[in-house]
Amino acid sequence: MSFTGYQRELSYKHYDGSYSAFGNSDPSGNTWLTAFVMKSFASAKQFIFIDQLYVDQAKTWLGQQQQYSGSFASVGQLFHSDMKGGVNDEVTLTAYITAALLELGTPLTDPMVQNGLNFLRNAFTQLNSIYATALLSYTFTLAGDQYMRIRALTILNSQAIVEAGGRHWRRESHLNVLDSLEVEMTSYVLLALLSGPVLQTFDMSYSASIARWLAQQQNAFGGFASTQDTVVALQALAKYSAATYLLTGTVVVTVTGPSPPKIFTVSQSNRLLLQESSLQVVPGDYTVKAEGKGCVFAQVSLSLYNGKRPQTNMVIIEVKLLSGFQLDKESLKPSSDKINVTLLFDLS
């Protein structure tokens, strides 16, 4: 599956090494998407074969977009702007790209990294969003800049929302509802805490409260609200899992309530196995009790059946080209804002 995704991603590659939603059909690659692909390819190299040339080409193209100030210019269009999460200005874009370069193992002496970090240091006092502060805290941590890291984390600590044993951050003047940026910025704070030396004010219990809140936002399928917050949240939770990993230990989890008791045993031999069971009686009050040594994550998923949906009198059919036929790409340019060619039939 990973190799299939790698091959598919290459279809969006431009000749100059950048990436965009429609590849060479677009006039230019997109800055954020190119950085995202570069970061993803570098991370996947330890699991599948990735041609280093594609990573280097993406990095070279990004370097061409860096301005004299050290910031990166936002070039090209992104088909789904929600993909990039809270990256919406030159500060957050520069922080994202600089962090991606550092995750690649790019040395601090690299001009792209040096200039990017200098720009971020100069822009720090003008930050006007919690998201930007959270992202920069992670970037400075990767750069080993403890002074800027502590400054950012100290500000974030004063803005944290602590409730029910969890800790998270919320957008300014935002409704009291969860959104993907809330998950993303909270994940960046956790990454900042776990990617550098442990700070006295922010010990492991502090990180645990963040991980607790993040785990509670995860849906039954393992994801979160969007693609980008899922990527960052899973990266942060994986970092936390590695930091709290124990070589030994077994935990027995017992679920009691109106249904017959359910017992789950989590040990080193099955710690990566998803264990699940259906509750026969709902609604009802259930108790989850864990005994032993280790860390486990328990989640309850409730699905409601709302009855049959009314007929819509419409059906959408995706039509692929038959063997021997060739697509006239020129005829599709006026509608290049769509990924799929669809036929719509009205059955009324």
> Which pLDDT belongs to residue 139?
98
| Helix or strand (DSSP H, E) at 6 | helix 2-10
> Which pLDDT belongs to residue 347?
46
Pairing type for strands 251-256 and 287-292 reads antiparallel
Cα–Cα distance for residue pair 127/132, rounded to 1 Å: 7
Nearest one of 249, 250, 261, 269 to 288, comparing CA atoms: 261
DSSP line for 45-102: TTTS---HHHHHHHHHHHHHTB-TTS-B---S--S-GGGGTT--SHHHHHHHHHHHHH
Nearest one of 288, 290, 286 to 252, comparing CA atoms: 290
| Amino acid identity at 151 | R
Residue 255 in contact with residue 287, Cβ under 8 Å? yes
| Amino acid identity at 114 | Q
End-to-end CA distance of the chain: 40
Residue 68 in contact with residue 108, Cβ under 8 Å? no
Structural class in CATH, domain 2-243: mainly alpha
Cα–Cα distance for residue pair 276/298, rounded to 1 Å: 9
Structure tokens at 274: 């998803």
* Cis before 283? omega within 30: yes
- Crossing angle for the helix pair 146-159 and 130-143, to the nearest 10 degrees: 150
> pTM score, two decimals?
0.81
Question: How many Cβ atoms are within 10 Å of 153's Cβ, its own excluded?
Answer: 22
Cα–Cα distance for residue pair 65/76, rounded to 1 Å: 11
- Crossing angle for the helix pair 146-159 and 180-194, to the nearest 10 degrees: 140
Question: How many Cβ atoms are within 10 Å of 290's Cβ, its own excluded?
Answer: 14
Structure tokens at 129: 């969003």
Q: State the Cα torsion 89-142-195-105 to the nearest 10°.
A: 120
Angle at CA of residue 153, ends 147 and 158, nearest 5°: 130
Q: What is the DSSP letter of 19?
A: B
- From residue 23, alpha-carbon distances to 20, 168, 342 in Å are 5, 37, 20
> Which pLDDT belongs to residue 146?
97
CB-count exposure of residue 35 (10 Å: 0-12, 13-18, 19+): buried
In a 3-state reduction of DSSP, which class is residue 120? helix
> Which pLDDT belongs to residue 185?
96
Mean pLDDT per 10-residue interval, the chain, length 348 residues: 85 94 91 96 92 96 97 88 83 97 97 98 94 97 98 97 94 67 96 95 94 91 88 95 87 93 92 88 91 86 77 71 73 56 48
> Which pLDDT belongs to residue 338?
52
Placement of tokens 């550098």 in the chain? 196
> Which pLDDT belongs to residue 348?
39
Residue 92 in contact with residue 127, Cβ under 8 Å? no
* Cis before 258? omega within 30: no
Structure tokens at 223: 């994801």
